[in-house]
């Protein structure tokens, strides 16, 4: 059905690929292009790593799908990355992290990092008082899972989660600096600020860093001085800490390599992906996950 | 893998189900909920029919996917409907019609109607002069396929196709009568009217009938008197004509029945689908197409 299944017995071989001459193989998974903002944050932080990025673009967006469907898709994708030789997985997708992180961890034998816990911990460092308010902007599925609320509660923060379904389409339309996007942000954020007085605003979707400036500006216009926290940056930082401690290798001084897999059109991935990664993407491999 | 495959030999049995005591079994397929606007138009026109609606909600939206992926999904769905006993299929999805109608026709043995040709023919009846201009509003994939341009050319009309990626998310956000939606329409339509002077505007996406009034109003504000044509209505009319001529049965005077299948959450289908169908949806069956 997919190459993950057919190569499932090659796990042991893959780990032997990792030696002192090359950096760790890090898998980065997202339903689409948004996770490339996490890869972009990873590249300068862990320059010795070799990255394998998988965008499950044939089945995106995950944001409006049910938990069972999202978990099935995410597990298939994670298994592919493990079978591809990845020694560490970053789930660079808020929806998949919110709804399928435990399923993924049970399905693979390598360490798995999601984007939500690092985001919550970064918020904790920003919010001065205990019990301080955090505003989380995310997709409908992420909000409904309350994964951010739980992760924030675990570090002593009170989170208000607000679904912003129009922001992904606006970013994908290329309207990152557009009056309509600012108007939509004014509507979403003024509704949110009526419910809470946040000290930090967590971007709980990997598309949102592309409009982080507009979000910050709109907050200021609405009288809020909340700090905007990018989960992509926070996740890259956590991955760096984890990799240098859990994978006991001396990082070689080579520069990072990455290869990309997409389940839908590779041309579209090259074109749109470059906007998220902010550098050209060379060859993209097509992958059929049977969906 | 799916029930279509396992029941593939039951085709002959299904056709024998059709007798003078019950109306034809009509399959209506869409990637999601939008096709329910076509079912809504069909119900009063062919009240004797028994409808089976399939929304491939686990894999929506089709609009941004590649031709190969869309064709595979649409063929799987059409086969399921044929195996379910449908004697006539309506592809109530512009993207699937644009990119997969021929694949579907080759894969099943019952007549298949798409939404594009009926839309073009309805435009033809509206546009007075030969070679008149038609503006088609649709998703990116439908526009890129140029299926509307070809269907319009076949009836002697010149079509300008414009992608409106934000309209589906705005409808799904429930902003059908909202300043932001009107502003987005002003942007899309003023760009379109700079390219052509249409006598008819074809709604080439089954979500758009829900904002038909806002589209008409914006056209008037921009100085256009173009007639807005709903492909859903045009398709229901074509299905009625085809069914009364190709399926030679006297329609019984019973009222229509319909049953719904969804590949993702049945609860969400019941809730959102009722908005599109404008009547309550009872039981929704879950269907796993292996995706």
Give A139-183 as a DSSP string.
Answer: -HHHHHHTHHHHHHHHTT-EEEEEE-TTHHHHHHTT-TT-HHHHH
Structure tokens at A271: 């074109």
The pLDDT score that the predictor gives to residue B253 is 57
- Give contacts of B268 with chain A, Cβ < 8 Å: 64, 66
Half-sphere exposure of A190 (CA within 13 A, CB side): 9
Whether the CB of B197 is below 8 Å from some CB of chain A: the reply is no
- Tell me the per-residue pLDDT of A96-129, one tens digit each, with 9 for 90 and over: 999 999 999 999 999 999 999 999 999 999 987 7
The pLDDT score that the predictor gives to residue B3 is 41
| Number of residues assigned to chain B | 291
- Tell me the per-residue pLDDT of B21-72, one tens digit each, with 9 for 90 and over: 568 899 999 998 889 999 999 998 988 889 999 999 888 778 778 889 899 9
Cα torsion angle, A225, A231, A233, A234, sign: positive
**Percent of chain B surpassing pLDDT 70:** 88
For residue B11, is pLDDT > 70?
no
As to burial, measured by CB atoms within 10 angstroms (0-12 exposed, 13-18 middle, 19+ buried), residue B65 is: buried
Q: How big is the A-B interface in CB pairs under 8 Å?
A: 64
CA B126 to chain centre: 20
Strands (E), chain B: 25-30, 50-55, 88-91, 112-114, 133-138, 158-163, 200-203, 227-230, 257-262, 284-286
The average confidence (pLDDT) of chain B is 87
Whether the CB of B166 is below 8 Å from some CB of chain A: the reply is yes
Close Cβ partners of A150 (under 8 Å, ≥ 6 residues apart): none
Q: What is B3-114+234-286's CATH number?
A: 3.40.50.1860
Pairwise CA distance, residues B204 & B143, whole Å:
9
Whether the CB of B182 is below 8 Å from some CB of chain A: the reply is no
Q: Do domains B3-114+234-286 and B117-231 have the same CATH topology?
A: yes
For residue B5, is pLDDT > 80?
no
A 248-277 residues with CB < 8 A to B: 263-265, 268
For residue A1, is pLDDT > 60?
no
Pick the CATH number of A117-231 from 3.40.50.1860, 3.40.50.261, 1.10.357.20, 3.30.30.60: 3.40.50.1860
Closest-CA distance of chain B to residue A121, Å: 31
Where does the pLDDT of residue B228 fall: very low under 50, low under 70, confident under 90, or very high at 90 and above?
very high
- Tell me the per-residue pLDDT of B109-162, one tens digit each, with 9 for 90 and over: 999 999 999 999 999 999 877 767 999 999 888 898 999 999 999 999 999 999
The pLDDT score that the predictor gives to residue A250 is 56
Close Cβ partners of B101 (under 8 Å, ≥ 6 residues apart): B91, B112, B114, B116
The pLDDT score that the predictor gives to residue A14 is 40
Strands (E), B109-193: 112-114, 133-138, 158-163
pTM: 0.82
- Tell me the per-residue pLDDT of A215-273, one tens digit each, with 9 for 90 and over: 999 999 999 999 999 989 999 999 999 988 765 455 555 677 888 999 888 888 888 88
The pLDDT score that the predictor gives to residue A251 is 59
Where does the pLDDT of residue B246 fall: very low under 50, low under 70, confident under 90, or very high at 90 and above?
low
Close Cβ partners of A81 (under 8 Å, ≥ 6 residues apart): A27, A29, A52, A54, A89
Q: What average pLDDT does this structure show over A148-152?
A: 96
For residue B167, is pLDDT > 70?
yes
Measure CB to CB from residue A172 to each of B165, B187, B291 and give the nearest one: B165
The pLDDT score that the predictor gives to residue A100 is 95
- Selected catalytic residue, list A86, A164, A205, A260: A205
For residue A8, is pLDDT > 70?
no
Pairwise CA distance, residues B259 & B282, whole Å:
8
The pLDDT score that the predictor gives to residue A291 is 53
Closest-CA distance of chain A to residue B278, Å: 21
* Distances from the Cα of B95 to the Cα of A118, A151, B148, angstroms: 39, 40, 11
Whether residue A152 lies in the annotated active site: no
Which has more pLDDT, A21 or A203?
A203
The pLDDT score that the predictor gives to residue A66 is 83
Whether the CB of B290 is below 8 Å from some CB of chain A: the reply is yes
Query: A237 and A118 in contact (C-beta within 8 Å)?
Result: yes
Give the best residue of A33, A55, A64 to mutate against chain B (max B CB count within 10 A): A64
Pairwise CA distance, residues B257 & B236, whole Å:
16
- DSSP class of residue A203 equals E
Domain ranges of chain A: 3-114+234-286, 117-231
């Amino acid at each position: 059905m997919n190459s993950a299944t057919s190569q499932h017995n090659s796990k042991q071989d893959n780990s032997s690929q990792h030696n002192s001459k090359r950096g760790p193989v890090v898998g980065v998974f997202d339903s689409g292009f948004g996770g490339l903002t996490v890869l972009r944050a990873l590249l300068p932080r862990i320059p010795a790593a070799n990255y394998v990025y998988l965008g499950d673009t044939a089945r995106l967006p995950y944001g409006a799908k049910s938990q069972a469907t999202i978990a099935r898709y995410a597990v298939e994708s994670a298994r592919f990355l493990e079978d591809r030789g990845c020694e560490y997985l970053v789930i660079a997708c808020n929806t998949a992290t919110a709804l399928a992180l435990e399923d993924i961890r049970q399905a693979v034998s390598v360490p798995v990092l999601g984007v939500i816990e690092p985001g919550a911990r970064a918020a904790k460092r920003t919010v001065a008082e205990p019990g301080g308010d955090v505003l989380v902007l995310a997709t409908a599925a992420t909000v409904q899972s309350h994964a951010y609320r739980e992760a924030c509660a675990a570090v002593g923060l009170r989170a208000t989660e607000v679904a912003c379904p129009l922001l992904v389409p606006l970013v994908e339309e290329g309207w990152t600096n557009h009056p309509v996007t600012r108007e939509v942000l004014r509507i979403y954020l003024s509704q949110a600020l009526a419910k809470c007085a946040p000290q930090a605003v967590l971007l709980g979707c990997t598309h949102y860093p592309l409009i982080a400036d507009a979000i910050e500006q709109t907050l200021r216009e609405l009288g809020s001085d909340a700090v905007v926290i990018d989960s992509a940056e926070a996740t890259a930082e956590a991955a760096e800490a984890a990799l240098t401690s859990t994978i006991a290798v001396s990082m070689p001084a080579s520069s990072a390599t990455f290869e990309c897999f997409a389940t839908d059109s590779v041309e579209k991935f090259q074109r749109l992906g470059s906007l998220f990664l902010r550098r050209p993407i060379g060859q993209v491999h097509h992958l059929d996950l049977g969906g």
